[in-house]
């Protein structure tokens, strides 16, 4: 298993900045990278400075954080060096878990938290064991079987028959080494419970989940979305775990609307 980099910081090739205007941070899913957000950035960069972070460094496969909190801290430090003190954060799947860490560590710096195919709950003991077993299998056998099942695991039924969605998804997955993928699975399995973090966050909380997403706990998310918690949950019809890739135009329009709601907060 690859040992994490200590101390950990964001490297230049982990950061993409596109556009002008107030800053908005985008954190990607596993096994993708900053390019997951290409469709959204192509539209939003006209009015936002879109800052996308990659979990891995293309120039150094061994450069990995020791935890999602370490990654979130490195993101915040990089933003501070760039003069960004307040901004909305959008996180997909694993990126959403990292976004929850940002919300926990730096709650007053987020103007909005938008989770896409993600949530603040930790794995159950059974889920954590399955994830750790999966990490060990990937470490031993490689990624071929995992990559072959990406479409059926991550996409809604309609998108599973669309090569223009599947091919880029698998190609991005091939950029990960078995060591990186296994390490990310372990960090996800070790994530904290951030339910109370989101309940107390002094900024809007939006959770967007695909109707056909088999990974997120729909019932638990929906039951916790009450006027008291302040969570705003939207179920996206006919979509799976990666709505922004499956329905890029719909998702971009929705994200644009949510971002515009906080455009003038702390800017």
Domain boundaries, the chain: 12-121+193-260
Question: For 168-185, how does the pLDDT look when each residue is reduced to its tens digit (9 = 90+)?
Answer: 999 999 999 999 999 999
Which class is domain 12-121+193-260?
alpha beta
Q: What are phi and psi of 234, to 5 degrees?
A: -130, 125
Predicted structure pTM score = 0.96
Digit-coded pLDDT (tens) for 35-66: 999 999 999 999 999 999 999 999 998 999 99
Q: Left (φ > 0), alpha (ψ -120 to 50) or beta: where does 19 sit?
A: left
pLDDT at 1 over 70: no
- φ/ψ (deg, to 5) at 12: -60, -40
**In which element (H, E) is residue 235 found?**
strand 231-236
How do 15-18 and 49-53 pair as beta strands? antiparallel
């Amino acid at each position: 298993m690859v040992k994490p980099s200590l101390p950990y910081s964001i490297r230049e090739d982990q950061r993409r900045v596109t556009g002008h205007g107030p800053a908005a941070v985008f954190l990607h899913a596993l096994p993708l990278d900053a390019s997951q957000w290409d469709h959204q950035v192509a539209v939003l960069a006209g009015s936002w400075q879109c800052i996308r972070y990659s979990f891995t460094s293309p120039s150094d496969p061994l450069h990995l954080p020791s935890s999602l909190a370490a990654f979130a801290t490195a993101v915040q430090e990089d933003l501070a060096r760039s003069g960004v003190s307040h901004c909305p954060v959008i996180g997909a799947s694993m990126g959403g878990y990292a976004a929850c860490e940002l919300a926990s560590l730096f709650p007053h710096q987020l103007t909005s938290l938008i989770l896409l195919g993600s949530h603040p709950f930790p794995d159950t003991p059974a889920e954590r064991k399955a994830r750790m077993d999966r990490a060990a299998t990937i470490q031993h056998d490689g990624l071929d079987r995992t990559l072959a099942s990406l479409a059926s695991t991550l996409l809604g039924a309609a998108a599973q028959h669309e090569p223009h969605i599947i091919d880029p998804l698998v190609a991005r997955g091939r950029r990960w080494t078995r060591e990186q993928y296994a390490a990310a699975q372990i960090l996800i399995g070790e994530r904290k419970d951030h339910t109370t973090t989101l309940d107390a966050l002094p900024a809007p909380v939006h959770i967007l989940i695909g109707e056909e997403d088999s990974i997120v706990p729909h019932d638990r998310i929906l039951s916790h979305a009450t006027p008291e918690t302040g969570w705003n949950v939207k179920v996206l019809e006919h979509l799976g775990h990666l709505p922004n890739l499956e329905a890029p135009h719909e998702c971009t329009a929705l994200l644009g609307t949510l971002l515009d709601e906080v455009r003038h907060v702390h800017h």
